[in-house]
C-alpha cells in the first residue's frame, strides 16, 4: 500500500523522549505552580465561553498546587537545605496561609482543629471579558475576609519567588 506524502513526513519526524529520575526535584512542582497560574490568568482573560465549574477547578487546582510546593521543598532537603519547620513558618504568613486554607478546604469537606481557616471559592462571574472568582475565608473565632482569586494567586507566587531567592534556590 502506498504511503501518502503526509504519512511519509510524519514517519520522518524525530521522536522526543524525556526521562524523569527519582527523587523528583522541587523545581518540577515550581513549574507546576507557574503553569497553574498561567491557567488561572487564561481563565480571567479568555473571551471564550467557559463554565463556572471549569473556572472553579482552575482556581482550586492553582491553590492545591501552590500548597504542594511546600511539601516538595522539604522533601528535597538534600538539594534545598530546607527542613519542614522552615517551610511551615512561611506557610503561616499571608498570602500562603490562605493558599494552604484553600488547598485544605478543597481537600477536606470540613476543617477541624484549633480555629483553622476555611477558604473556598464563593463567587464566580463569567462574562464576555473572561472570568472572575472570589475567595472567601473565615475562622470560627470570627476573623473573615475575601480576595480576588487571581490577585491572591499572584501574591502567592511572589511570596514563593522571594522565599526561593532568599534561600538561594
How far apart CA 156 and CA 100 sit, in angstroms, is: 10
104-161 pLDDT per residue, tens: 999 998 888 899 999 999 999 998 888 999 999 999 999 999 999 999 999 999 999 9
Q: Is 136 exposed, middle or buried (0-12, 13-18, 19+ CB in 10 A)?
A: middle
The pLDDT value recorded for residue 129 is 84
Band of pLDDT at residue 6, cut at 50, 70 and 90? confident
55-97 pLDDT per residue, tens: 999 999 999 999 999 999 999 999 999 999 999 999 998 899 9
Band of pLDDT at residue 14, cut at 50, 70 and 90? confident
In order of 3, 69, 100, 125, the CA distances from 10 in angstroms are 11, 38, 46, 43
Band of pLDDT at residue 2, cut at 50, 70 and 90? low
In the sheet that holds 144-148, the strands lie side by side as 118-127, 130-138, 144-148
User: Mean pLDDT throughout 158-166?
Assistant: 97
User: Mean pLDDT throughout 155-168?
Assistant: 97
Q: Where are the domains of the chain?
A: 25-166
Place of cell 504511503: 3
Amino acid at each position: 500500500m502506498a504511503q501518502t506524502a503526509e504519512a511519509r513526513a510524519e514517519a520522518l519526524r524525530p521522536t522526543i523522549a524525556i526521562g524523569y529520575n527519582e527523587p523528583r526535584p522541587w523545581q518540577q512542582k515550581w513549574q507546576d505552580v507557574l503553569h497553574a497560574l498561567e491557567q488561572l490568568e487564561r481563565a480571567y482573560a479568555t473571551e471564550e465561553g467557559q463554565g463556572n465549574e471549569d473556572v472553579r477547578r482552575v482556581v482550586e487546582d492553582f491553590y492545591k498546587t501552590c500548597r504542594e510546593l511546600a511539601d516538595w521543598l522539604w522533601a528535597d532537603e538534600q538539594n534545598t537545605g530546607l527542613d519542614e519547620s522552615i517551610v511551615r513558618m512561611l506557610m503561616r504568613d499571608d498570602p500562603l496561609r490562605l493558599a494552604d486554607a484553600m488547598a485544605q478546604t478543597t481537600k477536606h469537606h470540613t476543617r477541624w482543629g484549633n480555629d483553622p481557616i476555611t477558604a473556598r471559592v464563593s463567587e464566580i462571574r463569567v462574562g464576555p471579558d473572561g472570568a472572575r472568582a472570589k475567595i472567601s475565608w473565615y475562622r470560627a473565632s470570627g476573623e473573615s475576609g475575601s480576595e480576588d482569586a487571581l490577585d491572591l494567586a499572584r501574591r502567592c507566587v511572589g511570596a514563593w519567588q522571594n522565599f526561593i531567592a532568599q534561600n538561594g534556590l
